[in-house]
Amino acid sequence: MRITIIGSGNVATHLAAAFKNAGHAIVQVHSRDMHNASLLAYHVKAEAIDNLAQINPETDLFVIAVKDDAIEPIVAELAKYNKLVVHASGATSLQALQKHTQNAGVFYPLQTFSKTRELNFNTVPLCIEGANEKITSTLNELAYTVSQNVYRVNSEQRKTLHLAAVFACNFPNYLYHIAQQLLAEKQLPFDMLRPLILETAEKVQEHLPADVQTGPAVRNDEKTMASHLEQLQQNPDLQAIYKLLSQGIIKMDNRG
């Protein structure tokens, strides 16, 4: 396909590279920042533009990978070309596009991307949705050219996935940060925790989290939990997090 990428952030960068690697032609890369547009465009052998007036209509697909708030103004501009337009957002409905064009869909990669980190796109779950069955089928076919994990997901389900991703990614990363800070206070290197963090994530690749839960809370080991809370007495914020998550784990155990 001939694909135009709107955006130059983490998601735009990884999507553009994946499409290019799969043999698609990237026509243009648009970013409000010409420097960023040029960097990505050079990488995927496309033209860089920083103004939507410069759009080349000779494309099959517009992929909008920008901040949620910026999606609607952009699709309003692109609708006149009457080409297929998708966004790559977990939190935005398909309807947000359909206000402006029926030639619309969603192409949401459920992964955390960093520009500086290579990753195997072939395993990234792609959540697709089309305004009609023909569009869904087109997006399905496109998705399988870049990943083996393709899911048809409606806007309601995608909202849930986006929320669940916060619990599965953003919050764990913050807890890693807390752990690292606790160690740093005692001059201990974060390297000591890295194998534990990786093993914890690897365990749930094969098991359900409830089946591999460990630690004082799941044993209802009140003595250890009291000792941990005492160690956190200088830090009421961390005490509150410790209590709330431990209570949740204790309830989880009783439930199962």
Q: Find the binding residues for a second copy in span 188-207 (CB under 8 A).
A: 188, 190-206
How far is CA 206 from each of CA 166, 194, 202, 247, rounded to the nearest angstrom? 21, 20, 8, 26
Cβ 128 to a second copy shortest distance, Å: 13
By CB under 8 A, the count of residues binding a second copy is: 90
Out of 54, 56, 137, 170, name the contact with a second copy by CB under 8 A.
170
Instruction: Quote the least distance from Cβ 184 to a second copy, whole Å.
Output: 10
237 scored as a contact of a second copy (CB under 8 A)? yes
The one among 88, 110, 128, 139 contacting a second copy by CB under 8 A: 110
> Kind and range of the H or E element at 117?
none
Radius of gyration of the chain (CA): 22
Does 221 interact with a second copy (rule: CB under 8 A)?
Answer: yes
Provide the minimum distance between the beta carbon of 57 and a second copy in the complex, in angstroms, as a whole number. Answer: 32
8 A C-beta contact, residue 72 and residue 90? no
* The two three-digit tokens of residue 36, written as one number: 């960023």
Contact call for residue 168 and a second copy (CB under 8 A): yes
Q: Please enumerate in sequence order all residues whose Cβ is within 8 A of that of 250, keeping only pairs 6 or more positions apart, or say none.
A: 217, 218, 220
Stretch that binds a second copy, among 52-60, 78-86, 96-104, 111-119 (CB under 8 A): 111-119
1-40 residues in contact with a second copy (CB under 8 A) are none
Where residue 146 falls (left for φ over 0; alpha for ψ -120 to 50; beta otherwise) is alpha
Contact (CB, 8 A) for 103 and 84 = yes
254 counts as binding a second copy under rule CB under 8 A: no
